[in-house]
Amino acid sequence: MLAPPPFMLTTGPVTAYPAVLNAMARPAVYDGHHAFQHFYRSVVGKLQAALRLSSLPLILQGDALLGLEAAAASLIGRKDVVLNLVSGVYGKGYAGWARRYASEVIELAVPFDEAIDPERVREALAARPDISIITVCHHDTPSGTLNPLAEIGRLGRAHGAYVIADAVSSFGSLDVYPEEAAIDIFVTSAAKCLGATPGLSLLAVSERAWERIKANPDAPRASFLSLLDWELAAEAGRAFPVTPSLAEIHGLDAALDLYLREGPERVWARHARTAAAARAGLKALGLQLWPAREAIAAPSATVFRLPEGIADIRLRDTLLERYGVMLSLGRGETAGKVLRIGHMGPAAEPMLAVTAVAALGGALNQLGRQADAGTGVNAALAILSQASSNHADSNGSSREVAHADPA
């Protein structure tokens, strides 16, 4: 078996919090007993609090791609015209599902180091009043770039369209809530910034989207893609469509406890500080960030361009073998052009950005480049020396709470 790297700084899967792993070993609960219904209802309640929803969220058993596909299958009907916003690999990929169900899919694309401009969304909607659904990826992880989700949500709502958002790698790392952003189907994962394991899709569905799904004769029923079936499970914790993935649900339960106890603002601050330190350190090393502007760089992943003449696998393996640091490769259009440092869940710890920068300095020298590791480390440390923008530091307890085991 592969030994786990000492520093797992990937963009997913991430190392789960120890409390999550402990919870996953809890004994089975029989789903035909009310004890299970009570437990499941409490997990749904915690997720509802984390998502700040007025209605019940859904938990689908399958990693986030299941939730994304189920959203398309349930909401998009044969007469729909879909506007798919593309700023990266995941956004582009959504068209595959949209085309399966819609009458037409219109693409609005920007270069993959850029973000969607709401003004262009407004123009696209004005040009095609028949657009009924908008699909968008909030944080396109292979690029490390953020789209202005709330602005897009409000434009969609004003147009009378429904918005499906992939918030898989953003939720839990920054201030985003489905209802505030006017998103009709908001899909996230337990396995990215919440620091649990891959296996569950977490969905928020608006009231108006439920009405539409229930009126859509093509929406799947008695299927893994059926949001209607998973809704029954969320409501009652019974009529469970399949045997519950107990270990995953227990892990999610513990991850939500950690998130709610540490406090979302503190969790976001950890992600933001870690990413800011990584960006400062990389720039001081002479590396170039992939996002065209730092304003659109995500707090949960820092993506940088490979220096001329250094292959991605070579740099990744040098980082791993010499320094014990695992980074992610690019994906799709960014494959072979970038490496990515994940700051998700337990990896969103500012000192880990310093570790990544130090290792990169070492690895670049190893590969014959003149990189000043000390300059990089100092630039990253300078971010850590600044006071945090929230109360996490003055209180002093955020770190302790983040890694505490509630059991």
Q: Which DSSP state fits 237?
A: S
Asked if 176 touches ligand PLP (CB under 6 A), the answer is no
Pick the closer one to ligand PLP by CB: 5 or 198: 198
The DSSP annotation for 123-141 comes to HHHHH-TTEEEEEEESEET
Asked if 90 touches ligand PLP (CB under 6 A), the answer is yes
The DSSP annotation for 85-101 comes to EESSHHHHHHHHHHHHH
**Piece of 134-142, 178-186, 318-326, 372-380 that binds ligand PLP (CB under 6 A):** 134-142
Given candidates 31, 69, 166, 231, which one binds ligand PLP under the rule CB under 6 A?
166
Least Å from the CB of residue 201 to ligand PLP: 8
Asked if 15 touches ligand PLP (CB under 6 A), the answer is no
Pick the closer one to ligand PLP by CB: 63 or 229: 63
List, in sequence order, every residue forming a beta bridge with 133; answer none if it has no partner: 82, 162
Asked if 137 touches ligand PLP (CB under 6 A), the answer is yes
Least Å from the CB of residue 390 to ligand PLP: 25
Helical (H) or strand (E) element with 329: strand 328-329
CA dist., res. 5 & res. 325, Å (int):
6
Asked if 5 touches ligand PLP (CB under 6 A), the answer is no
Match 């770039």 to its residue by tokens. 145
Least Å from the CB of residue 172 to ligand PLP: 12
Pick the closer one to ligand PLP by CB: 74 or 141: 141
- What CA–CA distances, in Å, run from 189 to 50, 60, 92, 201? 13, 10, 19, 5
* Amino acid occupying residue 303: V
Least Å from the CB of residue 169 to ligand PLP: 4
* Amino acid occupying residue 70: A
Asked if 198 touches ligand PLP (CB under 6 A), the answer is yes
CA dist., res. 317 & res. 321, Å (int):
6
Least Å from the CB of residue 37 to ligand PLP: 28
Asked if 18 touches ligand PLP (CB under 6 A), the answer is no
In the window 242-301, what residues touch ligand PLP (CB under 6 A)?
none
Pick the closer one to ligand PLP by CB: 12 or 345: 12
CA dihedral 60, 65, 67, 71 (to 10 degrees): -160
CA dist., res. 336 & res. 326, Å (int):
16
Asked if 12 touches ligand PLP (CB under 6 A), the answer is yes
Least Å from the CB of residue 177 to ligand PLP: 18
Given candidates 141, 147, 302, 318, which one binds ligand PLP under the rule CB under 6 A?
141
Which phi and psi (to 5°) does residue 82 adopt?
A: -105, 130
**Piece of 41-49, 161-169, 177-185, 247-255 that binds ligand PLP (CB under 6 A):** 161-169
Q: How many CA atoms lie within 13 A of 148 on its CB side?
A: 15
CA dist., res. 167 & res. 171, Å (int):
6
CA dist., res. 277 & res. 123, Å (int):
37
**Piece of 47-55, 166-174, 262-270, 335-343 that binds ligand PLP (CB under 6 A):** 166-174
Least Å from the CB of residue 202 to ligand PLP: 11
Interaction mask 36-55, ligand PLP, x per CB under 6 A: --------------------
In the window 53-72, what residues touch ligand PLP (CB under 6 A)?
63-65
CA dihedral 174, 179, 184, 187 (to 10 degrees): 30
List, in sequence order, every residue forming a beta bridge with 305; answer none if it has no partner: 338
CA dist., res. 188 & res. 169, Å (int):
7
Least Å from the CB of residue 234 to ligand PLP: 20
List, in sequence order, every residue forming a beta bridge with 202; answer none if it has no partner: 59, 188
Binding site for ligand PLP (CB under 6 A): 12, 63-65, 90, 137, 140-141, 166, 168-169, 189, 192, 198
